[in-house]
Amino acid sequence: MISRIVLSFYDRVLDSDVLAPYFEHVDMPVLIDHQTKFIAYLTGGPASISDEALRLAHANRGIDRAAFEEMRRLLAETLEEHGLEPADVDSVMAEIDRRAGLVVTR
């Protein structure tokens, strides 16, 4: 289920005028694998991505708050559309929000 969520999420991301430019030169299969592990971790799964790894992965991307908010909105919509309970969506989004400072670099 998590892999379907992540694939749906990146379909939305790549359709977003705000977010698509951040992914022009990204190896999407590798990113999708990492994101699947990260979302699995946030929903209670065994995989984990350290905050330091997250910070390093985004350090040179120049991500601003508007892009972060667009990503956040698309992820919440995707989780909801895939039938996650509102409390579970809220939990994932709280973890995403907690890491905003690791992702937003400008």
Residue 102 — very low, low, confident or very high, per pLDDT cuts 50/70/90? very high
How far is the CA of 66 from the CAs of 83, 86, 105, in angstroms?
A: 26, 24, 11
Q: What CATH number does the domain located at 2-103 have?
A: 1.10.490.10
Euclidean distance between CA atoms 60 and 77, whole angstroms: 27
Q: Give the global pTM.
A: 0.87
Per-domain residue ranges for the chain? 2-103
* Confidence at residue 87, expressed as pLDDT on a 0 to 100 scale: 95
